[in-house]
Amino acid sequence: MKHGDNLQLLIVEESKNDAESLANALRIDGHRIQHNHGASLDEIENTLNRQHPDIVLCGSGADIPSAGDVHALLKRFELTIPVIVITDEASEADVVAARKSGLSNLISYDHPEHLQLAFNREVEFLRLQQQVDVLKTTLLGSESRCHALIENSSDAVAYIHDGMHVYANRPYMDLFAIETCEDVEGIPMLDMISEAHRETFRGFLKDYVEHNADKNTHDIDCLSPAGDVFNCSMELSPATMEGEPCTQIIIRINASNAELEKKIEAMSRVDMLTGLTNRQHFMQLLDVRLNNPGNTGEHRALIYITLDNFKVIREECGIAASDIVLCDIARLLEGNCAENDCISRFGDYSFAILHSSNSEEKTLGLGETLLHKIAGHLSEVDGRAITMTGSIGLCSINAYSRDAQQVISYADMACEVARSSGGNQIHTHSAVVEEHLGQENEPEWDSVVRKTIEDERFYLAYQPVVSLKGDTGKRYEVLLRVIDEQGHVILPGQFLSIAEKTGLIGEIDRWVIKTAFRRLVELRETDGEAVFFIKLSGSTLGNAELPLWVNDQLKENRLVGDGIVFEIAEQVVIDDLTNARAFVDAMKTLNCQVAVEHYGNCDQPQLLKHLPFDILKIDGGLTNGLSSNKENQARVQAILELATEHDKQTIAECVDDAGSLAQLWQYGVDFIQGNFVQEPSKDLEYDFEGEIA
Cα dist from 369 to 60, 223, 425, whole Å: 82, 45, 11
pLDDT digits (tens, 9 = 90+) for 277-288: 888 888 888 888
Angle at alpha carbon of residue 38, lines to 32 and 40, rounded to 5°: 165
User: Which residues on adjacent β-strands are paired with residue 55?
Assistant: 9
Largest CA distance in the chain: 105
pLDDT of 430: 65
User: In whole angstroms, what is the distance from residue 655 CA to residue 677 CA?
Assistant: 8
Q: How confident is the model at residue 592 (pLDDT cuts 50, 70, 90)?
A: very high
pLDDT of 171 over the 50 cut: yes
pLDDT of 532: 97
User: Which residues on adjacent β-strands are paired with residue 681?
Assistant: 462
pLDDT of 646 over the 60 cut: yes
Residue of higher predicted confidence among 532 and 256: 532
Q: How confident is the model at residue 506 (pLDDT cuts 50, 70, 90)?
A: confident
Q: How confident is the model at residue 556 (pLDDT cuts 50, 70, 90)?
A: very high
pLDDT of 439: 47
pLDDT of 511: 92
Residue of higher predicted confidence among 365 and 266: 365
Residue type, 600: G
For residues 284-303, average pLDDT: 79
pLDDT of 441: 46
Say which residues have a Cβ less than 8 Å from residue 62's Cβ, sequence separation at least 6: none
User: In whole angstroms, what is the distance from residue 693 CA to residue 691 CA?
Assistant: 5
- Among candidates 297, 304, 487, 300, which has minimal Cα distance to 401? 300
pLDDT digits (tens, 9 = 90+) for 76-129: 888 888 999 888 887 888 888 888 888 888 888 878 788 888 888 888 888 888
Q: What is the 3-state secondary structure (H, E, C) of 142-203?
A: HHHHHHHHHHCCCCEEEEEECCEEEEECHHHHHHCCCCCHHHHCCCEHHHHECHHHHHHHHH
pLDDT of 649 over the 90 cut: yes
pLDDT digits (tens, 9 = 90+) for 209-246: 777 656 678 888 998 877 888 888 888 888 877 778 88
pLDDT digits (tens, 9 = 90+) for 309-353: 787 788 788 888 888 999 999 999 999 998 889 999 988 889 999
pLDDT digits (tens, 9 = 90+) for 597-612: 989 877 677 777 778 8
pLDDT of 500: 74
Task: Quote the pTM value.
Answer: 0.50
pLDDT of 329: 93
pLDDT of 399 over the 80 cut: no
pLDDT of 116: 84
Say which residues have a Cβ less than 8 Å from residue 583's Cβ, sequence separation at least 6: 536, 541, 546, 547, 566, 568, 594
pLDDT of 105: 85
Say if residues 553 and 517 touch (Cβ distance below 8 Å).
yes
pLDDT digits (tens, 9 = 90+) for 102-112: 888 888 887 87
What are 229-236's contacts with CB under 8 Å, separation 24+?
229/194, 230/260, 231/256, 234/201, 234/204, 236/204, 236/205, 236/208
pLDDT of 478 over the 90 cut: yes
* SS3 of residue 660 by DSSP: helix
- Among candidates 381, 347, 175, 211, which has minimal Cα distance to 274? 347
For residues 292-305, average pLDDT: 78
- Among candidates 331, 302, 307, which has minimal Cα distance to 391? 307
For residues 637-648, average pLDDT: 90
- Among candidates 546, 474, 465, which has minimal Cα distance to 505? 546
User: In whole angstroms, what is the distance from residue 513 CA to residue 522 CA?
Assistant: 14
pLDDT of 463 over the 90 cut: yes
pLDDT of 464: 94
pLDDT of 257: 47
For residues 159-175, average pLDDT: 88
Residue type, 204: F
pLDDT of 63 over the 90 cut: no
Say if residues 368 and 336 touch (Cβ distance below 8 Å).
no
Mean pLDDT of the chain: 83
- Domains (ranges, CATH) in the chain? 7-133 (3.40.50.2300), 153-259 (3.30.450.20), 274-429 (3.30.70.270)
Q: Which stretch, 220-234, 476-490, 531-545, has highest mean pLDDT?
A: 531-545
Residue of higher predicted confidence among 363 and 420: 363
Cα-Cα end-to-end distance for the chain: 25
